[in-house]
Amino acid sequence: MLVMGEVHTGLLQNSGEIPESTCRDVLQLLSGERVRVSRRPIVYAVSPDLLTGVDCRLPSASQSRIRGAGTVLSRSSITGGRVVQGSSFTRIERSGSDRRQPWSHYLARPGVVEVLGKVKSRDLADGFAEDPPADGLDLGAISARFLDVVQSSPLLDRRAPFKIARTRLRWVAEEGEPAIRFTLHSEQMRTVRLVHTGEFTPAVADLCEDLALHDWLLTALLVIIERARIGGTPGPEAAVKLAPAVDHLLHLWMPSARVDDVLSAYWESLDRRPGFTRQWQSLVDRVRDQLAVHTLAFLREKSGGGAR
Amino acid sequence: MLIFAISDKGGTGRSVTSTNIVYRHALQGNDVCYLDFDFGSPTAGAIFSVGSVARGTTRKGLHDYLLGEGAPEPHRVDVWTESDREGLRTKPPGAGRLVLLPGNEGGGELPAVEEETLRRCVQLFSRLDEEFDLVMVDVSAGRSFTAEMVLQATVRLPSVPFRWLVFHRWTRQHIIAADGLVTGADGLLDAGTRFGHDRNALRDRIRFVRTAVLEPDAAELVGLRDEQRAWLFACDTELRELASRHKVGRTSMLGKIPLDPILQWREQLISDEDVLASKIANAETAAAFDDLAKKIVDDAAWEGL
Ligand SMILES: Nc1ncnc2c1ncn2[C@@H]1O[C@H](COP(=O)(O)OP(=O)(O)OP(=O)(O)O)[C@@H](O)[C@H]1O
Ligand SMILES: [Mg+2]
């Protein structure tokens, strides 16, 4: 019927980026199973999918009491040894019967929540942007915990180079004419509504994680630039405040790196509007220009000082 | 950095002083948040002039969050947008975020420290430390389960830096009581050691803050008779001796806040506008908050005693 997910993204709590082997060890803690790693074009390590059982109210724009039971798929990942994500999603499907089934039934269908009773797909999808009620399906809470597990790893020194909020991207995917809509809600909250042709595949979840990652990078860079108060503070001070962006963020921008070719059109459409890469590039240029100006001023000061 | 604000007695100025410190710290360009862990009387909302949470929130506050009452995330208030005071409602250029996590309206003290509550507290501190330069926690007055909870939580977060501020008034009773809260039976050091802190290391992370101090040479005292002034001087000298005997003296004091008439009348933040434009607050008071806001993160002020 439809698929719902939520991705949380944050800065890995370590002073520097961590090497691939440490990524493996950190994610290994989550489960004994093997961590998957891909190296090109950027090191990306991901835990195996883990299941969380849920029996709860489902979102509903009309505030109907819809109940569902089943399991949610979640995973933690680390990109570039620097950015961490907790991601969860589940397919919502109609149940064959109106009665709650034993857990063995749901466990046989990992990543599926069955709706008990009548439900309209549209009503579910429209309700999903809202924060869930206390007894509602809360994929965000599950994803946050998957992120916490990584952040609290004893292998990390917890001396992150700067403080930054996590962002959350809540997404819902339906079948139909291809379309995508990305919306910024608050400082930390984003939603994506995506329509895809044909059956849902996990590649859609990968796409949403990739979007979440890049949206976080963009958000973090904006925050760092705002903190630097270019023009409002003396050059050297602004340069010092911009340095963490150069050291830790600028090389991580690789849109679509892990996105299935079939889905790359979605990224292209978002790059046209709202224009993620264009905004990123202009911010990067700003940071580099600022540092160049500062270096020039510094050199001029030094040589001037020498002449006197 | 986590900062815990505590006092032995109620009504010492702990909330007013700690809120003003975070406000100044935000103005100095840091992202800060304030956690109202005074679950019995959550009044931080009133001091930040956020009317909707003046006596705690009716949504999921910290109390609900810690007790696991259906709140994966506690309610957050962005003071720069939600304060009722016009002067606070725009973030000054260069200032950091200023976020309040209110307690629950009608919450009540923690009945005990359950493992689940402690786990949630650790998770909360850990998440906030990822996001904010400074997390100020109003731990309420005296020995409490809340104080025990945060002592235990910090044992479980060995790489998150933390410090304690003990607020007290400049009187005989308060000096003795503040010392007792730290070094007395079942005080912070005893309890902390019991939970796994190193006693000396913990001691190094505790400093005292004197509130509502009337200096004998203050402008307010100009109209006093000579006899009165002499008496005040003698008192002050005696208190200084008492304080240093109780190790609450100059070396373990982080700062002092002068008595300010406007704070006597109303619990509020003192803005630069209050000092410069309307002139209702004393410049010395604002400067003292500003100074403390710097000292809480200045390692030189926290070197071993
Ligand atoms: N520097 C100051 N000058 C004058 N009055 C002050 C000063 N600091 C605090 N006060 C006043 O003292 C009273 C108590 O302050 P506050 O509410 O901050 O204390 P508290 O220690 O948090 O109390 P409680 O334990 O009840 O929460 C308030 O009326 C406050 O305005
Ligand atoms: Mg108080």
Q: What is the CATH number of the domain that holds B38?
A: 3.40.50.300
Residue A206 lies in a domain: no
Q: How many domains does chain A have?
A: 2
Residues ≥6 apart with Cβ < 8 Å to A98:
A116, A117
Ramachandran sector of residue B50 (left: φ over 0; alpha: ψ -120 to 50; beta: rest) = beta
Pairing type for strands B2-7 and B162-169 reads: parallel
Residue B157 lies in a domain: yes
Residues A239 and A303 in one domain: yes
The DSSP output letter for A200 is -
Residues A134 and A276 in one domain: no
Domain with B115, as residue range(s), is 2-300
Structure tokens at B24: 């100044």
Distance in angstroms (rounded) separating the CA atoms of residues A307 and B216 = 56
3-state secondary structure of A234: coil
Q: A159-206 pLDDT, tens per residue? A: 999 999 999 999 999 999 999 999 999 889 999 999 999 999 999 999
Residue B305 lies in a domain: no
Structure tokens at B61: 């506050």
CA distances from B180 to B78, B151, B187 (A): 36, 17, 7
Residue A205 lies in a domain: no
pLDDT of residue A308: 45
| CB pair distance less than 8 Å for A158 and B160 | yes
Residues A78 and A48 in one domain: yes
CA of residue A60 relative to chain centroid, distance: 24
Residue A210 lies in a domain: no
Whether residue B247 has pLDDT greater than 80: yes
**CA of B270, nearest ligand number:** 1
| CB pair distance less than 8 Å for A159 and B159 | yes
Domain with A59, as residue range(s), is 2-200
* A101-105, A304-308, B161-165: least confidently modelled range: A304-308
Residue B271 lies in a domain: yes
| CB pair distance less than 8 Å for B131 and A163 | yes
pLDDT bucket at A295, cuts 50 / 70 / 90: confident
* A95-99, A239-243, A274-278, B260-264: least confidently modelled range: A95-99
**Percentage of chain A modeled with pLDDT above 70:** 98
For B156-175, give one letter per residue: b (16+ CB within 10 A) or e.
bbeebbbbbbbbbbbeeebb
Q: A212-228 pLDDT, tens per residue? A: 999 999 999 999 999 99
Residue B195 lies in a domain: yes
Give the side-chain half-sphere CA count within 13 A for A224. Answer: 27
With beta carbons under 8 A apart, name residues in chain B contacting A143.
none
Structure tokens at A22: 């440490």
A232 closest CB neighbour out of B60, B94, B130:
B94
Q: Which of A200, A232, A259 is the last residue of a domain?
A: A200
pLDDT of residue B305: 62
Residues A249 and A289 in one domain: yes
Q: B174-202 pLDDT, tens per residue? A: 999 999 999 999 999 999 999 999 999 99
Q: Which of A172, A200, A228 is the last residue of a domain?
A: A200
The DSSP output letter for A231 is T
Residue B114 lies in a domain: yes
Residue A209 lies in a domain: no
B126 closest CB neighbour out of A140, A152, A164:
A152
Residue A253 lies in a domain: yes
Distance in angstroms (rounded) separating the CA atoms of residues A182 and A192 = 5
With beta carbons under 8 A apart, name residues in chain B contacting A138.
72
Q: B281-304 pLDDT, tens per residue? A: 999 999 999 999 999 999 999 987
Residue A212 lies in a domain: no
| CB pair distance less than 8 Å for A140 and B29 | no
3-state secondary structure of B249: coil
Chain pair A-B, CB pairs under 8 angstroms: 46
Rounded to 5°, the CA angle B218-B219-B223 comes to 110
Burial of B235 (0-12, 13-18, 19+ CB in 10 A): middle
pLDDT of residue B56: 96
Q: How many domains does chain B have?
A: 1
Q: Which atom of ligand 1 is nearest to the CA of B9?
A: 25
B141: Cβ below 6 Å to ligand 1? yes
Distance in angstroms (rounded) separating the CA atoms of residues B61 and B75 = 5
Distance in angstroms (rounded) separating the CA atoms of residues B240 and B227 = 20
Residues ≥6 apart with Cβ < 8 Å to B102:
B36, B42, B44, B45, B50, B53, B56, B57, B61, B62, B75, B77
Query: Ligand 1, residues B9, B55, B137, B263: which to mutate, most atoms within 8 A of Cβ?
Result: B263
Distance in angstroms (rounded) separating the CA atoms of residues A120 and A64 = 10
Residues A27 and A74 in one domain: yes
pLDDT bucket at B26, cuts 50 / 70 / 90: very high
B212: Cβ below 6 Å to ligand 1? yes
Entry pTM:
0.95
- Chain A nearest-CA residue for B133: A163
Nearest alpha-carbon partner for B296 in B9, B25, B7, B11: B25
CB B95 within 8 A of CB B127: no
Residues A166 and A275 in one domain: no
Residues A48 and A178 in one domain: yes
Residues ≥6 apart with Cβ < 8 Å to A165:
A10, A187, A188, B130, B131
Residue B78 lies in a domain: yes
Question: Once rounded to an integer, what is the mean pLDDT over residues B249-277?
Answer: 93
